[in-house]
Amino acid sequence: MKKTPKLVFLMLLLVFATALTSSKPQTTNSLEGTWELINRYNWIDGNVADTISNTNGYRQIKIYSKGKVMWTRFSPDDPNEWFGYGSYTHTQNNLEERLEYGSKMMMGIQDTIKVFKFELQLDKENYSQITLDGNGKRTFSENYKRID
């Protein structure tokens, strides 16, 4: 009879343990989701030199899902239109986007840049993609907040 409570305890422990293993590890934040641009920074000598706010209805939204990324910009003041679609990979600190197609303006840029490489700062609700110069110095960043 003494053995039975021990076994019941073991049984409960094992059942409980499977619940622990089936929850996914949350050590790395995910870029998956919908993000809206809050503002942009110009960087000089490793510091934020100025902040460019969204004005006159400017909106820029990116969706990342399963290795695919799409972004569009709504900028009533700009006669040019901007969007892009492609694939992405990222690590904790780096983001790479490969454009498959884009607006006329983006296709013009794509003639010289095939892969867009950024430094990545990612947490649950915010992320920044930071453009570095040839020496690895920060020059420009776009800062996003999660919508969904």
Partner 1 sequence: MKKILALVFLMLFLVSATKFVSSEPTYHPSIEGTWELVSHYNYSDGVHPSDTLLAVDNYRQIKMYYNGKVMWTRYVPNDSVEWFGYGSYETTDSTLTERLEYMSASMRKAANENMEWHMELKLENNRYSQIFTDEDGKRINSENYKRID
The least CB distance from residue 11 to partner 1, in Å, is: 4
- Tell me which of 100, 113, 115, 139 binds partner 1, using CB under 8 A: 100
With H, G, I as helix, E, B as strand and everything else as coil, classify residue 31: coil
Q: Is 3 in the site for partner 1 (CB under 8 A)?
A: yes
Kindly state whether residue 147 participates in binding partner 1, applying the rule CB under 8 A: yes
When binding is defined by CB under 8 A, the residue of 2, 53, 56, 104 that contacts partner 1 is 104
Which of residues 30, 48, 68, 92 is near partner 1 by CB under 8 A?
Answer: 68
If we measure between CA atoms, which residue out of 85, 48, 42 comes closest to residue 65? 85
Number of residues that bind partner 1 (CB under 8 A): 36
**Pairwise CA distance, residues 41 & 114, whole Å:** 23
109 binds partner 1 (CB under 8 A): no
Distance of CA 57 to CAs 14, 62, 117, Å? Answer: 56, 16, 28
Q: What are the b/e assignments for 75-98, b being 16+ CB within 10 Å?
A: beeeeeebebbbebebeeeebebe
Q: Is 148 a binder of partner 1 (CB under 8 A)?
A: yes
For residues 17 and 7, give the distance between their C-alpha atoms in angstroms, rounded to a whole number. 15
Site residues (vs partner 1, CB under 8 A): 3-4, 7-8, 10-11, 14-15, 18-19, 22, 32-34, 59, 61, 63, 65-68, 70-72, 74, 81, 83-85, 100-104, 147-148
